Chain A
């Protein structure tokens, strides 16, 4: 098994659905950080069988919890200080997300005005339906 050391100060995103870690890496813009980031794919998990984990060494104030909640609200966010977990941040389906997903409706005003933020609101929590605030099209 791969061995990746624990981190001293930073954030651990645990219980990521196996295979989803690169998507999260992209959504959170982790490529823009200059600190150490470890992506662990297909780690064994008692609860999930297999899971992904992302470890980030450094302050976690860049974390967009709304984006993370949108992708998968079952992810565990652990804040690490001096090698111990000091906080677990709960995630939920966000009511509103900005610039996380983009409207694909070719008739939407966002298709011709590039500088507009892409804002979606949760209209059906059960079915996890998000609609564009401008054209009200469902995100697919």
Chain B
């Protein structure tokens, strides 16, 4: 039985198959509308994440399946002290596949050890969020037609942003990908990313977005939270540097893509939303196709 805990659980070839399936789903949704008739997805959300949960539920419903689950630890037996291992044993009797979100790192891994059904990690603390990464890859693939030969800028909070770490780990597997890491010094990528993941690959670290904007094929924006800065002064000095607006976009290539894992606060101003380069809402839609492809793949229905 196959599970998905980490985006790297899928080889480059398996990832390609999954993204191709997502693409076929996007083109012919009706072909897949009854693939999961009679199947049930359990969404086990030990912490609230409405967006991710609804995306999983929409994906299963689009396939003709049904969903059940809980959306916070308070409304589950976890509040009575039930272990993840016991919960998944019980849920295995009710559903055919499950998506788990948990505040503690490694909880979905625990579930896989006791589960009778495939487990999808829907985010475990600061550790992994593989369906976000697969969605990012699908968005780049479907909009650019390739995952190799790109210059990608990752901007904002590169220290705590797990989506950034997972995306870098996935993209180093493709040829000729150049990374431009744009962040204040306090929010640089962690040393393990520089020393282990990016070692031997082409990358640069900069603090100014405007300088590098013209050479980017993709700009991956993330939220910079005020509380991440060491002092107020530094925050005020830096905050505008990482805000993308229509003015700044004039520096960028005509076909550059703007991605964002959402939710955004003010790092992308709303006047960018109507620009054809802004694909962050398209990304949300893509998330549903990718999760549909994933459910089919793990259920052996692909």
Partner of A116, one of B105, B110, B124: B110
| A113:B84 contact, CB within 8 angstroms | yes
Instruction: Write the residues of chain B forming the contact surface with A, with a CB cutoff of 8 angstroms.
Output: 83-85, 102, 104-107, 109-110, 124-127
Q: How far is the CA of A20 from the CA of B110 in the complex (A)?
A: 33
Q: How far is the CA of A101 from the CA of B126 in the complex (A)?
A: 23
**Given A135-B127, A136-B127, are A110 and B106 neighbors across the interface (CB < 8 Å)?**
yes
| B105:A113 contact, CB within 8 angstroms | no
Interface size for A (C-beta < 8 A) is: 16
Q: Mark A96-140, 1 if CB is under 8 A from B, else 0.
A: 000000000101111111011000000000000000111111000
| A107:B109 contact, CB within 8 angstroms | no
Q: How far is the CA of A135 from the CA of B121 in the complex (A)?
A: 12
Q: How far is the CA of A110 from the CA of B127 in the complex (A)?
A: 14
| B110:A105 contact, CB within 8 angstroms | no
Q: Would you list which residues of chain A between 38 and 76 have a CB under 8 Å from chain B?
A: none
Residues on A with beta carbons closer than 8 Å to the beta carbon of B124: 109
Residues on B with beta carbons closer than 8 Å to the beta carbon of A132: 106
| B106:A108 contact, CB within 8 angstroms | yes
Q: How far is the CA of A134 from the CA of B84 in the complex (A)?
A: 12
**Chain B, interface SS category:** mixed
Tell me, rounded to whole Å, the shortest Cβ–Cβ distance linking A4 to chain B. Answer: 45
Q: How far is the CA of A132 from the CA of B83 in the complex (A)?
A: 19
Instruction: Write the residues of chain A forming the contact surface with B, with a CB cutoff of 8 angstroms.
Output: 105, 107-113, 115-116, 132-137
**Given A107-B125, A107-B126, are A133 and B83 neighbors across the interface (CB < 8 Å)?**
no
**Given A116-B110, A133-B109, A134-B110, are A109 and B102 neighbors across the interface (CB < 8 Å)?**
yes
Residues on A with beta carbons closer than 8 Å to the beta carbon of B104: 107-109, 111-112, 135
| B83:A134 contact, CB within 8 angstroms | no
Residues on A with beta carbons closer than 8 Å to the beta carbon of B107: 109, 134
| B110:A113 contact, CB within 8 angstroms | yes
| B105:A107 contact, CB within 8 angstroms | yes
B109, closest chain A residue (CB): A134
Residues on B with beta carbons closer than 8 Å to the beta carbon of A105: 105
Q: B105, B107, B109 — which one has the most chain A CB atoms within 10 A of its CB?
A: B105
Partner of A115, one of B83, B105, B106: B83
| A135:B84 contact, CB within 8 angstroms | no
